[in-house]
Structure 1
Amino acid sequence: MNALPTRFFATAALFALAGMIWGVQMSATHDHTLAPAHGHLNLLGFVVMAVFGAYYALAPRAAASRIARVHFWLHTAMVIILPFGIARAITGQGEALAQIGSLAAIASMLMFIYVVWRYRAGAGEQIDKAAPLPAE
């Protein structure tokens, strides 16, 4: 498998762990004020990032492209900025980071749409076959 899908999956797992720890902390303190930020971390950091990783695993030509690497770094930066910005907005510390993160989220999805349109998974690609499963 290309290194890019692995990076997407590994980063998604780290964001999932961070989201879980944050959820446990909210539960332990009985303070769910920042639940929207926590939800964005889980959705964009784990779910969407894992979906991107799955696409890139199925589309090795796309995964090998420069735009895919830029996509990884843009999305990773956005996942770090947006939940923090949402938390700041909820606590009355300003909305600028949430706005920047939101624009980065839109840019990341537009970039993904372009990649899907440009490289079309399965369009003449050879995907490395895994070793055959042992006979049962």
Structure 2
Amino acid sequence: MKSIPTAFFATGAVFALIGMAWGIQMSATHDHTLSPAHGHLNLIGFVAMSVFGAFYALSPGAAGSGLAKVHYGLTLLAVVVMVPGIAFAITEQGEALAKAGSLLALLSMALFCFIVLRNGVGTVREAA
């Protein structure tokens, strides 16, 4: 990936495509059992990642920091762990992954809050 904003937007777009295909599959089969997992894929995988990408596109100082890369990795890991974890919890195969993914998502958002408060929005400052 060329940049943190591109990484967030491209990954979000992939998650959106997967979410849309999954939604069509649920509609076609009339089985919406896993809709909470589908919803989290769309919400965190597409919406949150796109919001994060927009912030980093507007805030090059924040985008150039090492914390931005950590934030991307943490968010990606949260989605990859949480979505199957929710599916496993719904199908009574255990809740451990859903819990772990939820904590990762919380850490991702807490890190985002820190980065926004540290850098502001739209500011160009020396990357830390």
| Partner AA of 1:109 in structure 2 | M
Q: Could you state the TM-score of these two structures normalised by the residue count of structure 2? A: 0.94
C-alpha distance in 1 between matches for 2:122 and 2:20: 34
| Partner AA of 2:80 in structure 1 | I
Deviation of residue 6 (structure 1)? 0.6
Deviation of residue 83 (structure 1)? 1.0
Unaligned stretches of 5+ residues in structure 2: none
**Corresponding residue number in structure 2 for 1:13:** 13
Instruction: Provide runs of 4+ in structure 1 moved above 3 Å.
Output: none
**2:60, 2:122 within 8 Å by CA — same for their partners in 1?**
no
Deviation of residue 121 (structure 1)? 1.7
Q: 1:47-62 residue pairs with structure 2 within 5 A?
A: 47-62=47-62
C-alpha distance in 2 between matches for 1:76 and 1:4: 12
Q: 1:1-136 residue pairs with structure 2 within 5 A?
A: 3-123=3-123, 125=124
Aligned length: 124
RMSD value, Cα: 1.1
**Corresponding residue number in structure 2 for 1:131:** none
C-alpha distance in 2 between matches for 1:122 and 1:82: 31
Deviation of residue 28 (structure 1)? 1.0
Q: Could you state the TM-score of these two structures normalised by the residue count of structure 1? A: 0.88
Deviation of residue 122 (structure 1)? 2.8
| Partner AA of 1:89 in structure 2 | A
> Percent same amino acid at aligned positions?
60
C-alpha distance in 2 between matches for 1:15 and 1:81: 13
Q: Alpha-carbon deviations, 1:18-77, whole Å to 9, x = none?
A: 000110111111100000000000000000100000000000000000000000011011
**2:15, 2:46 within 8 Å by CA — same for their partners in 1?**
yes
| Partner AA of 1:76 in structure 2 | L
